Structure 1
Amino acid sequence: MTHDPYLAAEDRYETMDYRRSGRSGLRLPGVSLGLWHNFGGANDADTMRETLRTAFDLGVTHYDLANNYGPPAGSAETNFGTIFHQDLKPYRDEMIISTKAGYYMWPGPYGEWGSRKTLLSSLDQSLTRMGLDYVDIYYHHRPDPDTPIEESMMALDQAVRSGKALYAGISNYNAEDTREAVRILRELGTPLLIHQFSYSMYERSPEEALIGTLEDEGVGSIVFSPLAQGLLTDRYLNGVPEGSRVTHSQFLQENQLSETYLERTRALNDIAQQRGQSLAQLAIQWVLRKDRITSALVGASSAAQLRNTVAALDFPALTDDEIAAIEPHAVHHTHHSS
């Protein structure tokens, strides 16, 4: 299929809500596009291309990847790089592109975790796959129990000093390790920009210590799975449809769709409908409430789905009464990491 040359929408910055990442100079869109699930080798090239074009037209300037996104691992970066060079390269300075390393990527002792060897090798591989000179944010994707945090943070610092990344991030760190990472990076002169973690109405453990720690330290926050792997959409209101993600997902099990959760989801859906919005839109607004979170990371299997999700930002902010009404139904579930 041939495509016309891409020209970005002229009004792309007029409606998006941009939020400062902690005490940094960088602002991120309220909704960012994650390429975790729908940009792998088997996905349709035209759909991916239309989704990325639509994202940029909507003011979604931030694109979140990792070395292992696919499947197969690496294919999301390769596909993103192809579309970037076809359509988005003239707009590179208007885009925030992030990637990560830490989960299993290649065989042998250096293909995962958090050594300097792993982090710097992986960044070079990611830049090659995407055809980029640098990424805007480079994350350590998960803490390494066997590598000192100092070593992982020194690698992030070196990535920034080398010009291969503009900012340093971490993901899936607990509050205590986050505080230590912040301290080390501050001493090195490359302050921590942002922390990426799972957070939703059904995953509330970050409220115990992590979110407060980030606020205290002036670090931004971007949350993945704000829709709880699809639980916080209208997909499961009547139980589990045949062939849905839950029946073949390693992250979402059928036992999570217990009657209790279906009842909670229906109650939340009722609140959303009273606001004239979808449950997914309510879930996005809830994680972004009171400006405690910088950005919500969403996947999109189509341009239409992305449009609907981003439209969450067009609704009035949740009132204190609405937040209170949501509270009995927004109950912590079990933790999943990306």
Structure 2
Amino acid sequence: MDTYVADTDRYEHLEYRSCGDSGLRLPRLSLGLWQNFGNDRSFENQRRILRRAFDLGVFHLDLANNYGPPPGSAEENLGRILARDLGRYRDELVITTKAGWTMGPGPHQQGGSRKYLLSSLDRSLARMGLDYVDVFYSHRPDPDTPLEETMLALHHAVVSGRAMYAGISSYGPSLTRKAAAIMRDLGTPLVVHQPSYSMLNRWVEDGLLEATADEKMGVVAFSPLAQGLLTDRYLDGSVPPGSRAGVGRPSWRDNMLTDEVLDRVRGLNRIALERGQTLAQMAISWVLRDRGPRTVTTALVGASSVEQLEQNLKAVDSTEFTEEELRDIDRWAINSDINIWWGATASKE
């Protein structure tokens, strides 16, 4: 078995930003293990991607209990890769996981109850072979559980040593402020919010980025490529075999690939080409653009190959936009009913 030794220049490639008002720092681009790290993908390819990511300074690895397929397998595969390759660098890695979406049958395999969150965290740690994660998130708001109970579970995860920090995901502006106030009173501040955000899914601009700035929280934007729509894969209107739409992955709905959405994607692609970027690179650059105190801390990208990872990382070199470019982008960057995460959560408050 080959012995992995990390590149000694790994911290020379990326900028690192503080996560809100905390001492936690994250690379401008982070690796999400949502789609490409289950048992349906080559394990050796997963090893190559993770090793290359770390060599390029991407030390933030984001998971959830239900990532796969099957659910849990992404955490298991990361655990295998930690044991073989990256475990010796655990102190450098920021490994995050979540609980909230369905993991199995019964009332305590989903939601925001103390029972589900803490038992799920224990199982996540066992799958990864870890004593702690760096951030544990409530993956979604749960209208059937008091917010105080969910926040107390996050607080306990931290004070018990199973997590270094606590975060929330897909909470609206009002709930974010309420959750932050509860956690502040408990003495375990929320350090990060993880919302979906892309050119075709701009809901965070309607109060959430202001809320996170006011609450001194970092922002980890997921799905900056709009579940793959903001790539060159669908420009001709067809559905390539192996794409998320083509294999019916749960991150897609039938109404996403409409003529109207494709017109917007093609308009954005023309601007990207004028900037000397691929559409995917521009989409990531745009999410990371300077918005003052409302600037996104890091964007999560997936990668099905080392080459795709390297191409995505080039986006961090071009996060500046002219006013004219931003106006042109706004003509096409319109909410397109692709936010699949609201359907099973509380309201957008």
Q: Could you say which TM-score interval applies, normalised by the shorter chain?
A: over 0.9
Counterpart-to-counterpart distance in 2, 1:241 and 1:122: 36
Task: Give 1:224 deviation, angstroms.
Answer: 1.0
**1:1-338, aligned counterparts within 5 Å?**
2=1, 4-243=2-241, 244-247=243-246, 248-291=248-291, 292-315=295-318, 317-334=320-337, 335-337=339-341
1:198-233 CA deviation, whole Å, 9 max, x = no partner? 110000111111111101111111111100011100
Closer, same or farther in 2 for the Cα pair 1:113/1:255, shift >3 Å?
closer
Task: Give 1:41 deviation, angstroms.
Answer: 1.2
The 8 Å contact of residues 290 and 319 in structure 2, kept in 1 or not, is answered as no
Counterpart-to-counterpart distance in 1, 2:328 and 2:259: 20
Closer, same or farther in 2 for the Cα pair 1:263/1:9, shift >3 Å?
same
Identity among equivalent positions (%) equals: 55
The 8 Å contact of residues 240 and 246 in structure 1, kept in 2 or not, is answered as no
Task: Give 1:116 deviation, angstroms.
Answer: 0.9
Counterpart-to-counterpart distance in 2, 1:106 and 1:87: 31
The 8 Å contact of residues 286 and 319 in structure 2, kept in 1 or not, is answered as no
SS of the residue corresponding to residue 97 of structure 1 reads strand
The 8 Å contact of residues 96 and 135 in structure 2, kept in 1 or not, is answered as yes
Counterpart-to-counterpart distance in 1, 2:195 and 2:28: 15
SS of the residue corresponding to residue 193 of structure 1 reads strand
The 8 Å contact of residues 64 and 75 in structure 2, kept in 1 or not, is answered as yes
The 8 Å contact of residues 15 and 28 in structure 2, kept in 1 or not, is answered as yes
1:156-195 CA deviation, whole Å, 9 max, x = no partner? 1111001110000001111111111000000000100101
Residue type of the alignment partner of 2:331: P
Normalising by structure 1, we get a TM-score of 0.96
1:4-31 CA deviation, whole Å, 9 max, x = no partner? 2111111111120211111111111111
Task: Give 1:108 deviation, angstroms.
Answer: 2.3
Residue of structure 1 equivalent to 2:346: none
Task: Give 1:274 deviation, angstroms.
Answer: 1.3
Counterpart-to-counterpart distance in 2, 1:92 and 1:12: 15
Residue type of the alignment partner of 1:245: R
Task: Give 1:35 deviation, angstroms.
Answer: 0.6
SS of the residue corresponding to residue 328 of structure 1 reads helix
RMSD: 1.3
Task: Give 1:316 deviation, angstroms.
Answer: 5.3
Counterpart-to-counterpart distance in 1, 2:144 and 2:253: 30
Residue type of the alignment partner of 1:337: W
Task: Give 1:255 deviation, angstroms.
Answer: 3.1
Task: Give 1:110 deviation, angstroms.
Answer: 1.4
The 8 Å contact of residues 235 and 266 in structure 2, kept in 1 or not, is answered as yes
Residue type of the alignment partner of 2:117: L
Closer, same or farther in 2 for the Cα pair 1:165/1:239, shift >3 Å?
same
The 8 Å contact of residues 31 and 296 in structure 1, kept in 2 or not, is answered as yes
Structure 1: 5+ residue stretches without partners = none
Residue type of the alignment partner of 1:322: E
The 8 Å contact of residues 197 and 223 in structure 2, kept in 1 or not, is answered as yes
Counterpart-to-counterpart distance in 2, 1:250 and 1:159: 29
Choose 213-222 or 261-270, whichever is displaced more: 261-270
SS of the residue corresponding to residue 183 of structure 2 reads helix
Counterpart-to-counterpart distance in 1, 2:326 and 2:57: 27
Normalising by structure 2, we get a TM-score of 0.93
Task: Give 1:254 deviation, angstroms.
Answer: 4.6
Poorly superposed stretches of 4+, deviation over 3 Å? none
Residue type of the alignment partner of 2:300: L
In the alignment of these two chains, the number of paired residues is 336
Counterpart-to-counterpart distance in 2, 1:257 and 1:241: 9
The 8 Å contact of residues 171 and 195 in structure 1, kept in 2 or not, is answered as yes
Counterpart-to-counterpart distance in 2, 1:241 and 1:72: 24
The 8 Å contact of residues 285 and 319 in structure 2, kept in 1 or not, is answered as no
The 8 Å contact of residues 198 and 336 in structure 1, kept in 2 or not, is answered as no
